Amino acid sequence: MSDDVEPQAPPRKPVRRLDARSLRGLAHPLRMSILEALALDGPATATGLSGRLGENTGTVSWHLRHLAQHGFIEEETGRGTKRERWWRVVEETKVLETSEFHDDPHTKGALSVYMHELVQQYFSRSRTT
């Protein structure tokens, strides 16, 4: 008798559909850089991110809290102190239907910023590899 066990597929990430509110919460060059840094390099503090991104710690901290309010990142509990908070990306697949925002003047700007920054990130990564 064989002990062959079929390998289990890795668990799927939850899917998050970006709506107008969450798109506006994400569509900022520094917030997108913070999210990318956390996604690529793992959990970090505002101080660590500020050094990596060349930004003021207070500014980075404010944007981290903004990303957390919109559910893109979360505090890594059990690590750090009240003054030194560690943040990580919420593991999920983000889905954006750009056609939903073309006729919305309040979201059109956010969509433009988001798409521009996304292309810049991909381009920068392709140049460094």
pLDDT over threshold 80, residue 8: no
Question: What is 17-128's CATH number, 3.40.50.300, 2.102.10.10, 3.40.50.9100, 1.10.10.10?
Answer: 1.10.10.10
The answer to whether 110 touches 27, Cβ cutoff 8 Å, is yes
Report phi then psi at 49, rounded to 5. Answer: -70, -40
Across the chain, what does the average pLDDT equal?
A: 89
Global pTM value = 0.82
Q: What is the pLDDT of residue 4?
A: 65
Residue that is written with structure tokens 């980075």 in the block: 60
- In Å, what is the CA distance from 76 to each residue of 13, 20, 62, 90, 125? 18, 27, 17, 10, 26
Distances (CA, A) of 120 to 33, 46, 72, 109: 10, 23, 20, 17
Domain map (residue ranges) of the chain: 17-128
Question: Does 27 have pLDDT greater than 90?
Answer: yes
Q: Is the pLDDT of residue 34 over 80?
A: yes
pLDDT grade, residue 46 (50/70/90)? very high
